Structure 1
Amino acid sequence: MSNRRNLVTGAGLAVGSMFVSQFAAAVSVPLLLSEGAISSTALRLGCAALFCIVWARPNFLSFGARQWRSAVALGFVVAVMAICFYVAATRIPIGAAMTIEFLGPLAVAALSLKGLRRVALPLLAVGGVVAMTYGHDGLLFDSVGVMLALAAACGWGGYIVLMRHVGGLFSEQEGLCVALIVSAILAWPVGMALEPDSHITSHILYVAGLALLWPFTSFAFEMMALRRMPLGPFSILMSLEPAFGALLGYVILDQKLSPRQIAGIIAVMIASIGAVVQSRDSTDDARDARNPMGHREEAC
């Protein structure tokens, strides 16, 4: 019963993380448009870093050179991912931006597959993105927004790879804390240079509230969910995030999508779920090959 309760609680936390993340993205769009997406994102990352320092209380003096290098690399990727996504969100619907960005983690998952599956699932996802972004008259959305969403996808893929590395060097909280500080430091001068007329600091309380939602609360919910449920079911559940983006974009910002575009989002979600399931199967097969008596030993 306790395992079932943990699974249900973990699933609730995962859903909460997706909702909080996409809700924060939707309600931030007016501020991004008025004060600049890069400046807004930089201040948001800075506020999130402060929250993380209070929460994790990292001992910066104890970190070695290798830890700093990995955390700085992660911070660079976080800055690229966040800036590109939120600038894209000012140009194309959030559901579309989120779906395109999801190609990043999907690509990382597909790399663990073999044979036809390694090609078929990414092709399904790409087909979904094409169905969502192209129509009879060509590209349906702003081309710069689509390219920025693709850059955010690369950032998300890099984040997954680097976060695994950082997690092996020190606690995820400390590594993420340093990464958020670095990302804010990197993003701030870019925002000042490209958006010199921004008055984002006059909205500090609003931005702090957004930072409390994403990334702070969203990441915290994810970590608590992973303590209560296996990685496989968690990853499958998180594949629903593009749907949350489309739904909240419609409810909050009135961003309507056609049936064809919705079908494209569903195709990306199916490809993501398939990649997670197939990668788990591949891992199980490899473990069984190394230990043919594994199931019998577990039974004993």
Structure 2
Amino acid sequence: MTIEDMGKPSAAGEPGAPLLLVEDLQIELITEAGVIRTVDGISFAIHQGETVTIIGESGSGKSTTAMGILRLLPAGLAVLSGSVRFEGVDVVAQPEAIEKIRGRRVSLIPQDPMTALSPVHKIGRQIAEAVRLRRPELSRAAAADRAVYLLEQVRIPDPARQLSRYPHQLSGGMLQRVIIAMALAGEPVLLVADEPTSALDVTVQGGILDLLLDLQQTTGVGILMITHDLGVARLVSDRVYVMRDGRFVESGEVEQVVEHPRDDYTRALLAAVPVLGAWDEDPGTAPDPPPDPHATPTGMQTGEPR
């Protein structure tokens, strides 16, 4: 496989149409210093019941990719080109279509639940509002019942009691489960999980990842996982895409990428992972720092989006 083919979805041997098909996606951000291309021609696909992970260091473009495909980047400051198809609907060519897709067919699990929830409203009210936004025909009582069911689904004990609590009264792990419950309110076929465990204690992370995998097995939901953590990627992924400077430098099944990395950058990421008890070993060479985002790649003109 050549680097030009890296990350391109293949139709051969894949049963059914993909939930998400991204082809040659480019994202340019308009800043005072000029145009910055943060995502540069990536392609991938996600099918039902599959977890695809984009992994890379801070500044690689992975979270921008997630926000871009959901059309959550600032309007007028982000220019998208290429194709992003949710169940066949291209939200790059038809940006207005995302309003009927986001929160229903595809939902976001954000990084920090404390900033995603209102601190002045009770958990039950916030989940019920998410339910009624997706299913306006439901009464308030029915939405409250649905909120209890969703909390049960994410394994929160005594869910009816939790509805009357405020976010600050719950632990970080419990709050992340609340966020996952809200993401499930519209019964999505695809979850976009943007660093869903990065704000959690390491002892809590495993429980959240196990929850996502169990939900996937019971519902068949596809998952796009965004992470910088190779341990997370290895635990949950079917396929991995290694991202650097807005491009995929390597892709493949997770064990293949972890056990037999082909790219120097992937090997550097693996070498930088700390190993318990390996204090006397050579830690390896860390990846080079990301380049200046304002630097202009060859052939690109600043100040003018493509």
TM-score, scaled to structure 1? 0.27
**More strand as a share of residues:** 2
Q: Larger relative contact order (C-alpha < 8 A, sep ≥ 6)? A: 1
Compare the two structures and name the one with the higher helix fraction.
1
